[in-house]
Amino acid sequence: MITQTSISYYGLNYVEHAEADFKEMKAHGVTQVILAVTEFDFDFWRPNIPAIVDKAHELGLRVLIDPWGNGKYFGGEQVSKFLQDNVENRQVSALTGEKLPYACFNTNSYRDYFKNFCVTLARECKPDGFFWDEPHYAFPKGIASITGGVADDWTCYCPVCRKRFEEYYGYPMPKYMTNDVKLFRWREALVVLSDTSKALKEIDPNLEITCCVHATQNGYYVSEYRGYDNWDMVGACPYFDVFSTTIVNWALPEDFYLDITRRTVAIAKKYGKKSERWLMGYYKQPKDFSQVAHWVDLAAKEGVDRLAAWTYRGGYGTVVGAPDALKLWDTIGENYRRVIAKV
Ligand SMILES: [Zn+2]
């Protein structure tokens, strides 16, 4: 049964404007706001963030803080202050040695920065939890050949990662992605999120952590190797409460959506977590809007606990707005109201 219906929300500045938006969300059957807090918001709009969280609570909405695009390590379109302020501690290409515009989340510099960002917001804002939004290594992705090996380059080959690899395995880090490199990347990728999640629960044990990973096939032939594609390792993390997988484009086959949904529920159940599936509420819309109700019903039938959509008003007014953004938002709202009424 679907027990939470979420919408993401960014551009937060003024409490009284957020209040009007929160009321609109309530009218759209939303129970939970995924509050996208950027590094700029944290740096500049800090005084208003706790007041915005309080206002959402006052109106009966749960609030999860999303460190949206932080370090460009998480998904998202906004810019990163960490990258602006640090020329080092970036992910490095294994094959070319180039520094890339992605923070290396295996460096202590970024790990400290990220943890401070989250624990400060937890203390000041009293949210209901945090949302880890598409964390990833820069490369590779989209390995789509059944013969494998399309994306040869990978990250991270920075000095910190190389040193840690050599200390652990006793030989220099290879430039080819071997099994040791794969395991190293999976293990290190979980450290930053585990440590911060643990620190958050030490502040308040009721803070709920959702880890949302890319919806990938992860089959025998095809895997993305973005660091969180080993769903068993992610699901087994004791500090995560909700296992969530990202948006599938409406134009993709229903079988693909069903496969992702079933595997999401299976991993969540296996590790005693709640499951969450995302709907595409921006950028693209279904050819036939009745597909929204159909996919919502499929998720409910497969045992998904929570639904979420990116983003408020279908991305209206942004470069990633759906063609009929407000109609998409209203359609998602109708379906949220329909499923949440059964709780
Ligand atoms: Zn690195």
CA of 67 to the centre of ligand 1 (A): 20
Q: Quote the pLDDT of residue 11.
A: 85
Please, what sign has the CA dihedral across residues 25, 342, 309, 105?
A: positive
Does pLDDT of 221 surpass 80?
A: no
CA of 76 to the centre of ligand 1 (A): 20
Per-residue pLDDT tens over the stretch 244-274: 999 999 999 999 999 999 999 999 999 999 9
282 phi, psi to nearest 5 deg? -160, 170
Instruction: Single out the residue of 94, 95, 117 nearest to residue 39, CA to CA.
Output: 117
Does pLDDT of 146 surpass 80?
A: no
Q: Quote the pLDDT of residue 151.
A: 67
Per-residue pLDDT tens over the stretch 292-309: 999 999 999 999 999 999
Average pLDDT, the chain: 95
Q: Quote the pLDDT of residue 145.
A: 47
How far apart are the C-alpha atoms of 19 and 145, rounded to whole Å?
A: 48
How far apart are the C-alpha atoms of 127 and 282, rounded to whole Å?
A: 25
CA distances from 64 to 52, 127, 216, 268, 289 (A): 12, 6, 24, 19, 28
CB atoms within 10 A of CB 116: 13
CA of 201 to the centre of ligand 1 (A): 27
Q: Quote the pLDDT of residue 165.
A: 98
CA of 102 to the centre of ligand 1 (A): 10
CA of 155 to the centre of ligand 1 (A): 7
CA of 70 to the centre of ligand 1 (A): 16
* Residues 57 and 63 sit within 8 Å (Cβ to Cβ): yes
CA of 79 to the centre of ligand 1 (A): 20
Mean pLDDT of 151-172: 95
How far apart are the C-alpha atoms of 114 and 39, rounded to whole Å?
A: 10
CA of 188 to the centre of ligand 1 (A): 10
Q: Quote the pLDDT of residue 168.
A: 98
CA of 325 to the centre of ligand 1 (A): 38
Helix/strand/coil for 223:
coil
Pairing of strands 306-310, 99-103: unpaired
* Distance separating the N- and C-terminal Cα atoms of the chain: 7
CA of 87 to the centre of ligand 1 (A): 13
Tell me the H-state helices in 204-315.
Answer: 231-235, 254-270, 290-301
How far apart are the C-alpha atoms of 164 and 184, rounded to whole Å?
A: 9
Per-residue pLDDT tens over the stretch 73-127: 999 999 999 999 999 999 999 999 999 999 999 999 999 999 999 999 999 999 9
CA of 249 to the centre of ligand 1 (A): 31
Q: Quote the pLDDT of residue 212.
A: 98
Task: Using a cut of 0.95, tell me whether the model's pTM lies above it.
Answer: yes
Q: Quote the pLDDT of residue 139.
A: 79
Residue carrying structure tokens 């290409």:
93
CA of 83 to the centre of ligand 1 (A): 14
Q: What tokens appear for 58 in the block?
A: 């006052």
In the chain, where do the E strands start and end? Answer: 4-9, 32-36, 62-66, 90-92, 99-103, 129-133, 208-213, 242-245, 274-280, 306-310
Which pLDDT band holds residue 291 (cuts at 50, 70, 90)? very high
